[in-house]
Amino acid sequence: MSDLTRMTATELAGLVADGQTSAVEVTQAHLDRIAAVDDRVCAFLHVDTEGALSAARAVDERRAAGEPLGPLAGVPVAVKDVLTTKGVPTTVGSKILEGWRPPYDATIVQRLREAGTVMLGKTNMDEFAMGSSTEYSAYGATRNPWDTDRIPGGSGGGSAAALAAYEAPLAIGSDTGGSIRQPGAVTGTVGAKPTYGGTSRYGLVAFSSSLDTPGPCARTVLDAALLHQVIGGHDPRDSTSIPQPVPDVVAAAKLGATGDLTGVKLGVVTEFSGDGAEPGVLAAFRESVDALAKLGAEIVEVSCPHFSYALPAYYLIAPSECSSNLARFDGVRFGLRVGDDGNRSLEEVMQLTREAGFGPEVKRRIMLGTYALSSGYYDAYYGQAQKVRTLITRDFTAAFERVDALISPTTPSVAFPLGARTADPYQMYLADLYTIPTNLYGGPGISVPCGLSDGLPVGFQIMAPTLADDRMYRVAAALESVVGTLTPPAL
Ligand code: GLN
């Protein structure tokens, strides 16, 4: 058997279903790979060896008993540490939740289990999903497998790095402003942000509830679509979940893979295709646009004038929501408690706990959000940002009257060196310049590899109308049929 860790999820599921290999063998191969490389990559915060092997054994037993298996049965998956996992540590990359073992599974985790996938463990992330490099994790930075002196993106750098390092064929991320797509872009992997409400937030530790969207990460578009299908769909336990089935993203990925985009109209976002991006990123993007045109797509330029205001609007809306959501970490209900020596007041214990438990970026966001929501400033900041959000949504609506999907580079630069942006928060925020509009609008977006610049991966972003997630998979698979998958240098 050739190296199981190099295979796609589709291939692995096929081998397990045919009995050519067992789920235990597949799982063990990935656990071995993690043991061999993760001290250099640091993608995982927790590896659940026992849980993974026992889930794999259960799949093998079901197969032996002739029971039907789901399309991803026996395939390992790495889960971002933002989702609750029953009895398995969940830290959200923060000291404030160190040692917490949730009493319940997130809906997505439950669906992964029901589908027979094998959870390998929990992946590293920027604390509370705030960041673009994974350097804001309280447990140390994840490294980019393409160059371990560079960042793997964030906040879901652990999930993306696990894929690029062949530690897992599938992973789960969450995207509030780009945290699935930007890590996908800089690690040469595929990351999809579903339509808001298309994947359940039940058990997702909240950062910005009107933006947070969990979604699939993989090395191929079809694998991402299969994972999307397994985790997506209505969940009565999430009040913002859409009561509709997931569009047939798997069929769309298969259609796209035929390499025919006749009749598809794509809009290059004028504001995101100029000199804001690195020349190498723009060159790879332009080449890919030409490739899509050769596959039959009609390409036009579409101006979205309010997209330039998305970043400032996001940095008011997301911190505002976070300042409210993170109030629950009070040293009483979850995780860390500092200074509770019997002599201090409740307020003092809360203050000491939050001071010790949150890192600097999280504190910055809580302060920004508290200020933006304070009486007297609410209208000037939060209120204005909500108006900008409406204008951005209108840009999308107008664009989708003209084109089927919008396209741009995923991120303005390739993976930057560790430490390069930690001193300047604004530089860090700029990594999400092109991904944030989609979150404010609520539509789906995907990043797919489109080539290299100076030996580092470049991501291509496709943005579709809300509930038309299938469209972006079709275009992404078509591009993949030309570009292929990217293979990093050996670790
Ligand atoms: N990098 C952005 C931020 O820091 C987006 C994070 C995310 O999508 N979770 O807020």
- Annotated active-site residue 200? The verdict is no
Instruction: Supply 341's token pair.
Output: 């020596």
Q: Is 241 helix (H, G, I), strand (E, B) or coil?
A: coil
Mutate to test the pocket of ligand 1, among 80, 125, 132 (most ligand atoms within 8 A of CB): 132
Indicate the pLDDT class of residue 2, thresholds 50, 70 and 90.
Answer: low
The pLDDT score that the predictor gives to residue 333 is 84
Question: Which one is predicted more confidently, 275 or 268?
Answer: 268
Is residue 411 lining ligand 1, measured as CB closer than 6 Å? no
The pLDDT score that the predictor gives to residue 401 is 98
298 forms beta bridges with 265
Indicate the pLDDT class of residue 425, thresholds 50, 70 and 90.
Answer: very high
Query: Is 429 a residue whose pLDDT tops 80?
Result: yes
The pLDDT score that the predictor gives to residue 117 is 98
Mutate to test the pocket of ligand 1, among 130, 136, 213, 436 (most ligand atoms within 8 A of CB): 130
Q: Under a CB-based contact definition with an 8 Å cutoff, are residues 153 and 129 in contact?
A: no
Residue range 283-332, pLDDT digits in tens? 999 999 999 999 999 999 999 999 999 999 999 999 999 999 999 999 88
Mutate to test the pocket of ligand 1, among 80, 125, 137, 176 (most ligand atoms within 8 A of CB): 176
Q: Phi and psi at residue 432, in whole multiples of 5°?
A: -105, 15
E strand or H helix that includes residue 352:
helix 346-357
- Annotated active-site residue 155? The verdict is yes
Residue range 89-133, pLDDT digits in tens? 999 999 999 999 999 999 999 999 999 999 999 999 999 999 999
Share of the chain above pLDDT 70, in %: 100
Q: Under a CB-based contact definition with an 8 Å cutoff, are residues 122 and 89 in contact?
A: yes
Is residue 432 lining ligand 1, measured as CB closer than 6 Å? yes
Task: Please state whether the predicted TM-score (pTM) of the whole model is above 0.95.
Answer: yes
Is residue 125 lining ligand 1, measured as CB closer than 6 Å? no
Q: Is 259 helix (H, G, I), strand (E, B) or coil?
A: coil
The pLDDT score that the predictor gives to residue 186 is 98
The pLDDT score that the predictor gives to residue 118 is 98
Residue range 361-380, pLDDT digits in tens? 999 999 999 999 999 999 99
Indicate the pLDDT class of residue 209, thresholds 50, 70 and 90.
Answer: very high
* Average pLDDT, integer, range 10-20: 97
Atom of ligand 1 nearest to the CA of 175: 8
In the numeric block, the tokens 């999430």 are attached to 238
Query: Is 443 a residue whose pLDDT tops 90?
Result: yes
Average pLDDT of the chain, as a whole number? 97
Query: Is 1 a residue whose pLDDT tops 60?
Result: no
Indicate the pLDDT class of residue 334, thresholds 50, 70 and 90.
Answer: confident
- Annotated active-site residue 265? The verdict is no
CA distances from 426 to 125, 140, 324, 370 (A): 19, 21, 23, 19
Could you say which of 137, 179, 320, 408 is catalytic?
179
**What residue type is assigned to position 440 of the chain?**
L
Taking the CA atoms of residue 117, residue 120, residue 124 and residue 129 in that order, the dihedral angle to the nearest 10 degrees is 20
Report the C-alpha gap between 352 and 344 in whole angstroms: 10
Q: Which stretches does DSSP call E strand in 101-245?
A: 118-123, 170-175, 190-193, 213-218
Instruction: Supply 58's token pair.
Output: 């259960």
CA–centroid distance, residue 211 to ligand 1 (Å): 10
Q: Catalogue all structural domains in the chain, each as residue range(s) with its CATH number.
A: 3-257 (3.90.1300.10)
Interacting residues of 383 by C-beta distance below 8 A, sequence separation 6+: none
Is residue 440 lining ligand 1, measured as CB closer than 6 Å? no
- Estimate the crossing angle of helix 469-483 against helix 249-257, to 10 degrees: 30
**What residue type is assigned to position 328 of the chain?**
R
**What residue type is assigned to position 465 of the chain?**
P
Residues belonging to the chain: 491
Closest CA to 163 of 60, 65, 284, 41: 41
Indicate the pLDDT class of residue 80, thresholds 50, 70 and 90.
Answer: very high
Residue range 140-190, pLDDT digits in tens? 999 999 999 999 999 999 999 999 999 999 999 999 999 999 999 999 999
Instruction: Supply 327's token pair.
Output: 């109030």
Atom of ligand 1 nearest to the CA of 429: 1
* Average pLDDT, integer, range 380-398: 97
In this structure, how many other beta carbons lie within 10 angstroms of the beta carbon of residue 342? Answer: 4
Q: Is 407 helix (H, G, I), strand (E, B) or coil?
A: strand
Instruction: Supply 364's token pair.
Output: 């910055």
